[in-house]
Structures are given as C-alpha cells and as structure tokens.
Amino acid sequence: MLNEALNNPGATRFQGEAIVREIKEKEFGQTSGKPFQRIQLDDGELQRQVKIFLGTGSALTQVHIGQKLQFSISGYVSTFDNKTYLSGFWNRPQGQSPPQQPQQAAPRPPGQPKADWDAITEGKVRHGVLCAMLQGGLIVHYPTVLKHTTFIVTGKIPEDKANPKYSDDPEGPKGDMAF
C-alpha cells in the first residue's frame, strides 16, 4: 500500500493494513487549521512517515503502537521540495470512534429522593448573604438574611409579617443591612 501510493502520487487512495511504529503529537495545518498527526507506518514492504488527517475523530495514542490498523493512503508531490510524501486517514472500526453522546450519570438507588435544586440554590444564596454580612462587619440578624435570600432567589421583596413597621424603617434593627 505505501509503495503503491509513493509510486502513484495524485492517484486515488490506496486501502490497506499497516503496523503503527511511531506516533507524534497532534498538530494543526498552518493554513487550513485542520488537525493531523505524523505517524510511522510499516506495511510489511516499506516503513514510512505518513501525515494522517484526523477529521472529527480522535487522535491515535501510544496504545496504537504495534497494532495493525486500516488506512487510506495517497501520495502527493510537494511544490516546495518536489519530493513525494504520504497522507491519508485512519479507517476506524465502528466500535473505536469516540462516544458521541455525553455519558449518563449513574442511576439513583431505589428509594433515594430526587435532589431539590430549589432548596440547594436557596441554601447557597443564604450562605453567600451570611458571608457578605460577616465580611462587611455587620451584626447578623437572621430574619434579614432570610429576606435578602428570598429577594435574591425570587426577585420579590418579602413582606415582614412579624414586624409590619420593619419595612417602613430603612435602617432596620441597629447594625443590620438596610433593605
């Protein structure tokens, strides 16, 4: 396969098996930006460096060294130095392509309740309000922490049922944050 591609540059791609001897890191074309790898292939007749274009597939890794894989290879003559080089694609078997869908989370054991994301969010916001009050040097007034939390989570100013005059007092209890 490699010899045929070298002797027939510009011809159709030659299909065949070759053993991967060396794999270099993934690179990107200077003008095209397309990913490729330079690998050393041995088809039994010839051992040669080949530029393998990756397309949307995953790169070859060190695990592939020594393995016999399927390739589509063609030769091309460089306009820079007039030498013939090889390029092509790795013909991945169906089962070797990277997973197309994200992996699913492990199933929940039976009887375990679903997470209440609203309650989790509210707890995180409450924590943030409390930390802000402490960092600001304010006296922590828990009903005010709850009011701020409700406002941040819902966007609505909560009514103060315990102290209806509280909302009229812009300063609230001494040392508390104004709402």
Query: In order along the chain (179 residues), what is the average pLDDT of each group of 10 residues?
Result: 79 84 88 87 88 80 88 83 81 56 63 82 93 90 90 84 52 53
With respect to residue 6, please indicate whether it lies within any of the assigned structural domains. yes
In a shared domain, residues 6 and 84: yes
Nearest C-alpha neighbor of 86 from the set 95, 99, 77:
77
In a shared domain, residues 83 and 130: no
In a shared domain, residues 39 and 83: yes
In a shared domain, residues 21 and 63: yes
Helices 142-154, 117-135: axis angle to 10 degrees equals 130
With respect to residue 139, please indicate whether it lies within any of the assigned structural domains. yes
With respect to residue 174, please indicate whether it lies within any of the assigned structural domains. no
In a shared domain, residues 26 and 77: yes
Give pLDDT, residue 105. Answer: 63
In a shared domain, residues 71 and 23: yes
- Retrieve residue 18's tokens: 């070759």
- Residue 91 and residue 22 in contact, taking contact as beta carbons nearer than 8 Å: no
CA 21, CA 48: separation in Å to the nearest integer? 9
- One-letter amino acid identity for 80? F
In a shared domain, residues 78 and 132: no
CA 114, CA 105: separation in Å to the nearest integer? 13
- Retrieve residue 66's tokens: 């020594």
In a shared domain, residues 12 and 84: yes
Instruction: Please give the residue range of the domain that contains residue 121.
Output: 117-168
Give pLDDT, residue 127. Answer: 94
In a shared domain, residues 56 and 15: yes
User: What is the domain count for the chain?
Assistant: 2
Task: Tell me which of 61, 93, 125 is where a domain ends.
Answer: 93
